[in-house]
Amino acid sequence: MDDYRRVADLIREHGNVVAFTGSGISVESGIPTFRGGQGLWEKYDPMEYAHIDAFRRNPEKVWNMLREMANVIFAANPSPAHRALAELENRGLLNAVITQNVDGLHQTAGSRNVIEYHGNHRRLVCVGCSGKIDFTESEARQIPYPICERCLAPLKPDVVFFGEAIPMVEMVRANEEARRCKVMFVIGTSGVVYPAADLPFLAKSSGATIVEINLEETPFTSSISNFFFAGSASTVLPAILELIGT
Ligand code: OAD
């Protein structure tokens, strides 16, 4: 509990927090992680289902997984952890959430400055003309897959597939926030996917205190984390918020 209090004091005094989040923060919302036991990549080989070349070769096959993912995301609600981060921003203590997640749940919880490093699954982009539309249940129902009304090419969720670049604007904004913050929460991420996993290292080398929350240790834990809270994000974050007080 001493460490909880130290982190709460640090945040109350300095604010200037950035949260870097991964799929662990959405587990309590009913969305499985990518790696480990129930992970999506245990069921689907990412090179066959999440690489842009695989999508171009066989959109129908990849859409079988995307439709399943969409149904899970459309049914999900924010977790107590998503809400705690929105509340910290409301109180003027948190500058930004940089998320690797594509579920849009930070915004649903009320976070405003959200940098979606890997895109958003609630939007579709045309692989032919790059036009974008909202992804609703009606597109998810289209068989064999939704196509662009303008150029008839396949549509795909506007998320970063393996083999695609991180959107430049998000990358620049994320680097700036990581460099500027005094405290970085690193929440529910295995820290193995780059360049996203560079961000905590950038924050640390720019002087930030790293506060990691995860069920298990990661490559960050022994290298850069000043605090490691072993536990669920939806338990740890509300507890810290309560200690910060109003
Ligand atoms: P991973 O599945 O690699 O890691 C999830 C992490 O969340 C693990 O370290 C778990 O221990 C932790 N975790 C699980 N439940 C938790 C809970 N309730 N509270 C806190 N932590 C919990 O997911 P990411 O690190 O997000 O990329 O994966 C990174 C990227 O790999 C994703 O953005 C995705 C994937 O390929 C793209 O789609 C481009």
The pLDDT tens digits for 19-54 are 999 999 999 999 999 998 888 898 899 999 999 999
172-195 mean pLDDT: 98
Question: CATH 3.30.1600.10 residue ranges in the chain?
Answer: 39-75+120-159
246 pLDDT exceeds 80? no
Q: What is the CA(35)–ligand 1 centre distance, in A?
A: 7
pLDDT band at 197 (very low <50, low <70, confident <90, very high): very high
Q: What pLDDT is attached to residue 40? A: 86
Judge residue 152's burial from the number of C-beta atoms within 10 Å of its C-beta, 0-12 exposed, 13-18 middle, 19 or more buried: exposed
| Nearest alpha carbon, ligand 1 atom 26 | 22
Best residue among 160, 193, 211, 218 to mutate for probing ligand 1's pocket (most ligand atoms within 8 Å of CB) is: 193
Catalytic residue among 14, 51, 106, 118: 118
| Nearest alpha carbon, ligand 1 atom 33 | 100
| CATH superfamily label, 1-31+78-118+165-246 | TPP-binding domain (3.40.50.1220)
Distances (CA, A) of 147 to 56, 73, 158, 166: 13, 21, 14, 24
pLDDT band at 146 (very low <50, low <70, confident <90, very high): very high
Q: What pLDDT is attached to residue 137? A: 87
Annotation marks residue 118 as catalytic: yes
Provide the mean pLDDT of the chain. 96
Establish whether residue 100 lines the binding site of ligand 1, counting it when its CB lies within 6 angstroms of any ligand atom.
Answer: yes
Class of domain 39-75+120-159: alpha beta
Establish whether residue 23 lines the binding site of ligand 1, counting it when its CB lies within 6 angstroms of any ligand atom.
Answer: yes
Q: What is the CA(36)–ligand 1 centre distance, in A?
A: 9
Distances (CA, A) of 66 to 77, 153, 160: 19, 17, 13
Question: CATH 3.40.50.1220 residue ranges in the chain?
Answer: 1-31+78-118+165-246
Q: What pLDDT is attached to residue 39? A: 85
pLDDT tens for 147-159 read 999 999 999 999 9
Best residue among 27, 115, 120, 190 to mutate for probing ligand 1's pocket (most ligand atoms within 8 Å of CB) is: 190
